[in-house]
């Protein structure tokens, strides 16, 4: 497979080459605006995460309320992720057409009205339909937020920014986890949870409209820093040929397969139900583990992002790849102890779920910058739509459906052993295939960005 970014050299008209070299101030990724962007986007992600976690944490009481089997959790989780495989690319397309600000405000904000409607569901069919529609909005953040980070920050800072953003979102959700757990003690408390988080989402839609400023495509690339936004946009036209060129980037293909093998989200989805069904805890007690899980995820994403950037400075070719591989192996080891060994009391599980969150949290600060390092700026939205919204969503949907139905026959403990511990161990071994192509693909992108900068300046690169 030959690495290519699908971007043929292009002559630049004289009026473009002589355009102002300083981007317009409102679209510049300056510290004030990009920090404000991260705050409002992170806040909306906290609400999205809490809304998704509501079903996982309170499923036992939802099941009791609507008369459901364990397989129903698999159906709910799968449907919410499958819709993302369609919604994610759709939001990216709409963002290119109408702007990221409008799409983010709609999808991660005002779309919360569907969550409010889900709280009114009177049957399992109604709940599946309304919860699935509500989950379509979450897919926008999965695809667009990493693209915004790539356009706002240079490569050497992306790991820590991803870590702080995703970790902060997880920490916010963990703070809300005890509140969600207490809803199990209130009649129809799960319905109030949907009302609450759906309403807060709408508030964040307004905040995004008021405070978000888009940095512009390619604004985070050091090689393009001297170009105006018009000059960057001149090379950023999206065609289907360019989107198809993503599958000709070997590193991206390896990362896609690894994402397909990533079953770690199963433990987050079924963890509370596992503690209730296999280890005998009541729902309110078991749901408390989601709080240390969120704290651990925060620690993992922040530490993972900082460590990924540090390793990248030490070894640009191999540092981030090695950390991603180690993260999968560590998660598999902790998952085995958590799911296969019975402990007295909830305290050991609080610690273990904290470690589960930490090892899972290592991933965003590593895999997002890896994708950004091999994919051109204008294709990152499409790349993350494929990476998260399609591949991860389809894989997770298959795993959750399979886990739900197998759990009815064999129990969740056996499911966790094979579908979580086993697959994540395989994933760690598979990532060995990333080392060689990543070196070639990351260097190819740097060369392409330098070519653009020279072309815009009317220069010929040195041979």
Contacts of 336 (CB under 8 A, 6+ apart): 417, 421
- The secondary structure of the chain in percent helix, strand, coil, rounded to multiples of 5, reads 80, 0, 20
Residues 308-335 have pLDDT tens digits of 989 999 999 999 999 999 999 999 999 9
Contacts of 183 (CB under 8 A, 6+ apart): 54, 58, 61, 189, 190, 192, 193
pLDDT at 1 over 80: no
Handedness of CA 125, 127, 133, 135 (dihedral sign): negative
**Cβ atoms 75, 190 nearer than 8 A:** no
pLDDT score at 315: 94
Contacts of 309 (CB under 8 A, 6+ apart): 156, 157, 158, 159, 160
Question: Over the chain, what is the mean pLDDT?
Answer: 82
CA dihedral 367, 373, 379, 382 (to 10 degrees): -10
Residue 400, both tokens? 């959750």
* Ordered structural domains, the chain, with CATH: 27-216+258-456 (1.20.1250.20)
Residues 144-197 have pLDDT tens digits of 888 888 888 877 778 888 878 877 777 777 677 667 777 777 888 888 888 888
Residues 8-42 have pLDDT tens digits of 433 334 333 333 333 333 344 456 788 888 888 88
Of the listed ranges 223-237, 325-339, 345-359, 417-431, the least confidently predicted one is 223-237
Contacts of 457 (CB under 8 A, 6+ apart): 17, 226
pLDDT at 305 over 90: no
CA 429/CA 41 separation, integer angstroms = 34
Query: Pick the residue with more confidence: 344 or 283?
Result: 344
pLDDT confidence of 229, banded at 50, 70, 90?
Answer: low
> Closest by alpha carbon to 269, among 76, 115, 429?
76
pLDDT score at 202: 92
Residue 366, both tokens? 């590593």
CA 25/CA 40 separation, integer angstroms = 20
pLDDT at 211 over 80: yes
pLDDT score at 114: 92
**Cβ atoms 205, 105 nearer than 8 A:** yes
Residues 37-62 have pLDDT tens digits of 888 888 888 887 777 777 877 888 88
pLDDT at 5 over 70: no
Quick one: average pLDDT of 76-97? Answer: 84
Phi/psi-derived region of residue 186, left when phi > 0, alpha when psi is between -120 and 50, beta in every other case: beta
Of 187-201, 242-256, 420-434, the range with the highest mean pLDDT is: 420-434
Distances from the Cα of 219 to the Cα of 20, 228, 321, angstroms: 15, 9, 25
């Amino acid at each position: 497979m030959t690495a290519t970014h699908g971007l043929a050299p292009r002559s630049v008209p004289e009026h473009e080459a002589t355009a102002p070299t300083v981007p317009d101030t409102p679209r510049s990724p300056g510290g004030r605006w990009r920090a404000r962007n991260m705050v409002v986007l992170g806040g909306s992600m906290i609400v999205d995460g809490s809304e998704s976690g509501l079903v996982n944490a309170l499923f036992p009481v939802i099941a009791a309320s609507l008369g459901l089997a364990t397989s129903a959790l698999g159906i709910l989780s799968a449907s919410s992720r499958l819709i993302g495989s369609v919604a994610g690319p759709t939001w990216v397309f709409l963002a290119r057409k109408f702007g990221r600000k409008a799409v983010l405000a709609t999808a991660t904000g005002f779309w919360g009205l569907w969550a409010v409607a889900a709280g009114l569901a009177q049957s399992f069919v109604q709940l599946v339909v309304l919860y699935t529609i509500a989950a379509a909005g979450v897919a926008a953040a999965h695809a667009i937020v990493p693209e915004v980070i790539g356009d706002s920050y240079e490569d050497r800072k992306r790991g820590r920014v991803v870590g702080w953003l995703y970790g902060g979102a997880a920490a916010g959700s963990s703070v809300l986890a005890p509140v969600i757990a207490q809803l199990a003690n209130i009649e129809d408390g799960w319905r109030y949870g949907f009302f609450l988080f759906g309403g807060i989402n709408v508030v964040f839609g307004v905040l995004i409209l008021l405070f978000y400023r888009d940095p512009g495509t390619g604004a985070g690339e050091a090689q393009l820093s001297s170009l105006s936004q018009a000059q960057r946009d001149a090379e950023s036209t999206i065609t289907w040929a360019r989107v198809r060129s993503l599958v000709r980037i070997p590193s991206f293909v390896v990362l896609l397969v690894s994402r397909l093998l990533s079953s770690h989200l199963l433990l987050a989805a079924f963890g509370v139900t596992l503690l209730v069904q296999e280890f005998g805890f009541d729902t309110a007690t078991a749901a408390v583990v989601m709080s240390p899980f969120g704290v651990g995820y925060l620690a993992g994403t922040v530490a993972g992002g900082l460590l990924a950037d540090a390793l990248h400075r030490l070894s640009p070719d191999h540092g981030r790849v090695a950390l991603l591989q180690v993260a999968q192996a560590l998660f598999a080891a902790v998952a085995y102890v958590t799911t296969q060994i019975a402990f007295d009391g909830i305290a050991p599980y609080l610690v273990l779920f904290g470690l589960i969150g930490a090892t899972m949290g290592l991933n965003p600060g590593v895999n997002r910058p890896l994708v950004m390092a091999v994919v051109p700026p204008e294709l990152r939205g499409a790349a993350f739509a494929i990476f998260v919204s399609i591949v991860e969503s389809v894989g997770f949907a298959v795993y959750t459906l399979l886990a739900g139905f197998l759990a009815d026959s064999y129990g969740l403990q056996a499911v966790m052993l094979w579908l979580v511990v086993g697959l994540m161990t395989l994933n760690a071994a598979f990532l060995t295939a990333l080392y060689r192509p990543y070196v070639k693909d990351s260097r190819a992108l740097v060369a392409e960005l330098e070519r653009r900068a020279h072309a815009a300046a009317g220069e010929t690169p040195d041979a």
